[in-house]
Amino acid sequence: MKIKNLPLEEQLKRYKRRFRILLALFVLLIAAVGFYIYLNFDYLVFKHFISHHYIYTDTLDQLYKEELKRDVKGSYFSYFDNMVISVVTRQIRSINNERYTYLYTPESYKQTKIEEKEEAAQSEIKVLNDSTIYMRITNFSKYTKKFVYDNVDQLKKYPYLIIDLRDNYGGDIPAMADISDLFIPKGSTIATDKMRMFNWVYKAKKDKILDFKKIIILQNKNTASASENMIAALKDNLDNVTLIGETTFGKGIGQFTMPLKRGFAVKATTLLWFTPSGENIQGKGIKPDIYYAGDDFINYALLKLTE
């Protein structure tokens, strides 16, 4: 029943109840904001103090140019957070000898997106003979995911598959999981990401779409991260996968990129990932079943398919 159809006294009661609820929510919001300011009080004071009162502005200009690769034209306060992120991530890299945590400037972030798309465009599929199809995946991104999914019908026509992951440095973990999902049974574990606050298990969500008599995966020392994850996902869940090449790079950590204001973004190492069998390959890599470092990988793989 609508409030306006109720007796006046009942209408007043309901309006008072709503007012009290809204007031309580407003008080909670003010309290939360106040608590957040309290937790960040020292930083906010420091930000205001240095940005507006530090007398040697030429030093600030040099600092911002070194860290952000730009002249902020006196907007020290506006760019202060970006400068601090750059300094902190640089120190993290220095202390931990870890190159994956850093600040993207707007220019570098935009360039990374362009390079990701250009690199994905180099992925290819070739028919090698009447029974074998070859697929090269150059990175893991929304573009390579689309590339693989768009070619599912063609891949289905052949009993043998060669997947080339040489020089594939990895990329987007969800894209890798969705591609791996095509090859393995529903419910199979693809990877487990272990983070500070929780763990996330990637599992195959669909019934097996691509089924081959034999799969050969080509790998080398530059096969890294999400590429190694796909290798492990297929190798651990299927009994018809052979790895040919060199021991892979050994990157068992993963990063998350957080977009920021004005086109900046921060990337940081946030997880360890584990293979379906529970192994973390950081610093170890994945050994091939058949070592090969020659110049004719594809013909060598074709020979191994017939053995």
Q: Is residue 122 located within the same domain as residue 29?
A: no
| Dihedral angle sign, alpha carbons of residues 211, 215, 217, 218 | negative
Burial class of residue 103, CB neighbours in 10 A (0-12, 13-18, 19+): buried
Domain count, the chain: 3
Going by C-alpha positions, the residue among 80, 48, 115, 116 that lies closest to residue 264 is: 80
In a domain, 107, yes or no: no
| Dihedral angle sign, alpha carbons of residues 11, 17, 20, 26 | negative
In a domain, 132, yes or no: yes
- Tens of pLDDT along the chain (307 residues) come to 555 666 777 767 777 888 889 999 999 999 999 999 999 999 999 999 999 999 999 999 999 999 999 999 999 999 999 999 999 999 999 999 989 999 999 999 999 999 999 999 999 999 999 999 999 999 999 999 999 999 999 999 999 999 999 999 999 999 999 999 999 999 999 999 999 999 999 999 999 999 999 999 999 999 999 999 999 999 999 999 999 999 999 999 999 999 999 999 999 999 999 999 999 999 999 999 999 999 899 999 999 987 7
Q: Which two tokens stand for residue 294?
A: 């020659």
End-to-end CA distance of the chain: 78
Contacts of 221 (CB under 8 A, 6+ apart): 246, 247, 248, 249, 285
* Residues paired with residue 203 on neighbouring β-strands, in sequence order: 189
In a domain, 103, yes or no: no
Q: Is residue 32 located within the same domain as residue 173?
A: no
Q: Is residue 48 located within the same domain as residue 18?
A: no
Q: Is residue 30 located within the same domain as residue 93?
A: no
- What is the model's pLDDT at position 307? 75
Q: Is residue 208 located within the same domain as residue 249?
A: yes
Domain that residue 212 falls in: 112-305
Q: Is residue 191 located within the same domain as residue 241?
A: yes
Q: Is residue 153 located within the same domain as residue 298?
A: yes
Q: Is residue 180 located within the same domain as residue 266?
A: yes
In a domain, 297, yes or no: yes
CATH number of domain containing 129: 3.90.226.10
Q: Which two tokens stand for residue 39?
A: 């937790």
Q: Is residue 141 located within the same domain as residue 226?
A: yes
